[in-house]
Each structure stands twice: as C-alpha cells, then as structure tokens.
C-alpha cells in the first residue's frame, strides 16, 4: 500500500455543462493536484471542450488496488440529481431522445435502466459514498448545492443525507441548502461556488483565448460591445421566445450594445442553439450573433469580454460576477415561488440591492439597472467572493497539501 492517498476529483463533468467543466479545473488548481484523477458517473472524454478525461467510479475502484483515496466532490447541484437524470444527461442526442421517449413516464423502469447503465445501485450517484472504495477514503463535499432536497423522493433524500453525514468535510454554496441539511441534523460550512475563482486563477488563459478564433472575430464584429445572453431549452416555446425577443430589443436599444447568444451546456436538458436562432429571427436589432464554440475557455472569454450577462445559467452569472460585470438571472415561468439555485446563491452571496432573478418581462428593466451599477463595487464583490472561497477551501487544501505550494494566481 502506498503512503500517498490518490486524489480523485468527482463531479458532473462527464457531460457538457459549463459550470461542472470549470469545477474540475478550479478544484484541481486550488488543491495543487492538477494530476488528480477525474471521475463522474460514467467514463467520458470531454477534452475536446476544454474538459477532462473522466473515469467511471467503478473502473477507478477496481484499478486502485489497496490505495487510500481523497475523494473530493467538486461542487454543483449534485445532492438532488437522480440516477435517471445523471444517466440520461451523459447520452448523445439521438440516444437521449429515444431513451426519454421510452422511459420518461415510467419512473420505476427508468431508475432500473439508469442503475444498470451506470453500474450502481445508488439513487443519487453524484453524492458518492465512501463505501465505493474498499480501503481508506477521506471524503469531502465541496461547495455543493441541493435547493430541492426537501421535495425530492424520500429514498433519494435519505441516501444523500446518509452519504453527506458520513463525509469528513462538508461545505455548501448557499444558505438554503445549509438550512435544509441542518434540519436533517447535518452540519455544513458555507462557502461560495468554486467558479468565483475563475478570474483569479485563469485570467491570463482567458485573455489569451479572447485573442483568437471565433471570439476574436466576435469582438471585431461588435465595436460598441455586446451583452452575453443565454437561456435553457425549456424557454423554447414560441410565446416565451417572443417575450424574450421583445425584452432583448429594449436592452439593445437602451444600451447601444449588441447581443451574443451562447450555450452554457450542450448536454440533454440544457441549451439549444435553435432557440437562439428563433429568438433572433423575431428581432430587428443588429448586431446579433450566435456564438458556436462549446469550449469552456471560449465561453469564459465570451463572458469576460462582454458588457454584462443575461441568462438562466447560474455559472454564467457567477463567471460574470468573477469578472466584475453586470448580471441578470432569468427565472423560468414554471418555477413560480420555488427557490431556485440561482436565487439561493444570489441571496447568500450577492449585494442586497443586486437582483437575484427576474421574470421574463422584467429582463429589460433589470438589465438597464444592472448596467448602471457601480463598477468599483462590483470589483469589491468579486474580490470578497474569491477570499471567501479560498478561506472555505482551506481545510481541503490542508488535507491534500503534503508540502506542495499554494495555487498560483494568474490574474
């Protein structure tokens, strides 16, 4: 048995989702273990999108032999993700459509299918148990979220609470999740989402991306600047798109900036470029563009060089915050009064006069207000969140340090 435990960074970066792909990079850099193993619920290679080669946990457990492990859950809304959702989101487009059409209305069958595909009996496979590994495991849940933990299936919730309570270190990214865990007797520290570190750790890399490829062409095409716009595919009915188009026209006319649509996730149930094209077709405002790259660093650079962000993606908002930019989160009409992860994060960490999320018909007003906010105050907020995350990650960094140096700042 080796003296050094193997570090495994675990999360939903086995599919294309902007925030999850960033987590793997940030947690590896913060822990000074960029040579760590990266694991998800399925083996996938996301390097073509700026991600990592990700291994299935069953494969890792079999290949580690007698070695002890440090298992770090990298972050994200993993406490409420079911086996069905986890398995379906790792499928390709055609396979996903066929599978959902066959199983979506058959909850028992879809759980059996998902557990078979993922080779696990777990109901919430992204909330991994130390029992996955046959030898010593130190387990951390790092800045995770679970705003719907009180409404999910009771068996899934019980499994999650058992696995989280058994961990050696537990931190969550919003006060709502912290309260839900506390009500179940699980104490968790509160730290920001890992993506607040992206400007500090990867600013130089992102600046370099802005000088090449599609983004360089986009910057040249928008001499008066642009606002980065994103919304998920579930906004895609004709009536909703018409309302969004009208609001964005008002934003463009009032600000003088163009609009660039981008996808923050290409996995199933995420974003669809066709929705952007249908929205743009309803608008007279120019210039408009649909940004095609799905590379995580291109997306970061697109947001970083924008005049602000509008969208439903939590990590679009957080990356805009990290670069001290105006940001507006858009709430889906179906959510009603339900607490969302976007609202929970903003209520926990953003300034009290910064809007958490808005309904579709409030996009223009909220964006104009956001563009008028004090740049110096936005910079201070970005620095505060970096400091809070660095301090909150310290117990994990201490565990993993073994004499290595602190992460390098690249601003």
DSSP 294-350: --HHHHHHHHHTSS-EEES-HHHHHHHHHTT--EEEB--GGGTTPPPHHHHHHHHHS
Q: Which of 142, 148, 117 is nearest to 128 (CA)?
A: 142
Give the pTM. 0.93
CATH node for 197-384: 3.40.50.2000
224-237 pLDDT tens trace: 999 999 999 889 89
Average pLDDT over residues 71-81: 96
Q: Check residue 407 and give its pLDDT.
A: 43
239-261 pLDDT tens trace: 999 999 999 999 999 999 999 99
Query: H-helix or E-strand containing 44?
Result: strand 44-45
Yes or no: say if 290 and 273 are a contact pair by the CB < 8 Å rule: yes
Give the tokens for residue 70: 């440090």
151-173 pLDDT tens trace: 999 999 999 999 999 999 999 99
Residue percentage of the chain with pLDDT more than 70: 96
Give the tokens for residue 186: 């699980």
Distance CA 198, CA 341 (A): 19
Interacting residues of 171 by C-beta distance below 8 A, sequence separation 6+: 140, 141, 142, 143, 144, 188, 189, 190, 191, 392
Q: Check residue 402 and give its pLDDT.
A: 60
8-67 pLDDT tens trace: 999 999 999 999 999 999 999 999 887 889 999 999 999 999 999 999 977 887 788 778
Tokens 């994060």 identify what position? 345
Q: Check residue 197 and give its pLDDT.
A: 98
Q: Where are the domains of the chain?
A: 6-191, 197-384
């Amino acid at each position: 048995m080796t003296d050094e435990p193997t570090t495994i960074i675990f999360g939903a970066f086995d599919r294309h989702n902007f925030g999850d792909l960033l987590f793997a990079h940030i947690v590896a850099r913060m822990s000074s273990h960029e040579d760590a193993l990266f694991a998800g619920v399925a083996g996938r290679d996301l390097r073509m999108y700026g991600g990592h080669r990700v291994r299935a946990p069953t494969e890792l457990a079999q290949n580690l032999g007698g070695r002890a492990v440090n298992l770090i859950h990298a972050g994200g809304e993993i406490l409420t993700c079911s086996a069905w959702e986890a398995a379906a989101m790792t499928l390709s487009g055609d396979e996903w459509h066929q599978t959902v059409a066959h199983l979506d209305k058959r909850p028992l069958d879809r759980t059996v299918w998902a557990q078979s595909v993922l080779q696990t009996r777990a109901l919430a496979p992204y909330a991994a148990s130390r029992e996955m590994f046959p030898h010593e495991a130190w387990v951390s849940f790092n800045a995770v979220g679970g705003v719907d933990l009180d409404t999910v299936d009771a068996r899934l919730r019980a499994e999650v609470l058992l696995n989280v309570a058994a961990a050696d270190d537990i931190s969550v990214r919003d006060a709502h999740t912290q309260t839900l865990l506390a009500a179940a007797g699980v104490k968790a520290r509160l730290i920001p989402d890992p993506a607040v570190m992206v400007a500090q750790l990867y600013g130089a890399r992102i600046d370099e991306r802005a000088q090449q490829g599609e983004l360089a062409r986009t910057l040249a095409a928008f001499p008066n600047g642009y606002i980065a716009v994103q919304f998920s595919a579930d906004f895609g009915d004709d009536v909703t798109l018409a309302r969004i188009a009208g609001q964005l026209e008002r934003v463009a006319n009032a600000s003088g900036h163009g609009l660039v649509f981008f996808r923050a996730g290409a996995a199933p149930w995420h974003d669809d470029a066709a929705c952007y094209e249908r929205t743009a077709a309803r608008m007279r405002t120019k210039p408009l563009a649909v940004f095609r790259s799905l590379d995580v660093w291109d997306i970061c650079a697109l947001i970083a060089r924008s005049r602000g962000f509008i969208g439903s993606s939590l990590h679009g908002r957080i990356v805009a915050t990290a670069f001290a930019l105006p940001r507006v989160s858009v709430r889906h009409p179906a959510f009603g009064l339900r607490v969302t992860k976007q609202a929970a994060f903003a209520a926990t960490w953003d300034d009290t006069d910064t809007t958490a999320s808005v309904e579709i018909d409030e996009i223009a007003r909220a964006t104009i207000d956001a563009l008028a906010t004090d740049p110096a105050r936005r910079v201070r907020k970005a620095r505060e969140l970096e400091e809070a995350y660095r301090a909150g990650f310290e117990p994990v960094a201490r565990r993993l340090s073994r004499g290595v140096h602190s992460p390098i700042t690249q601003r």
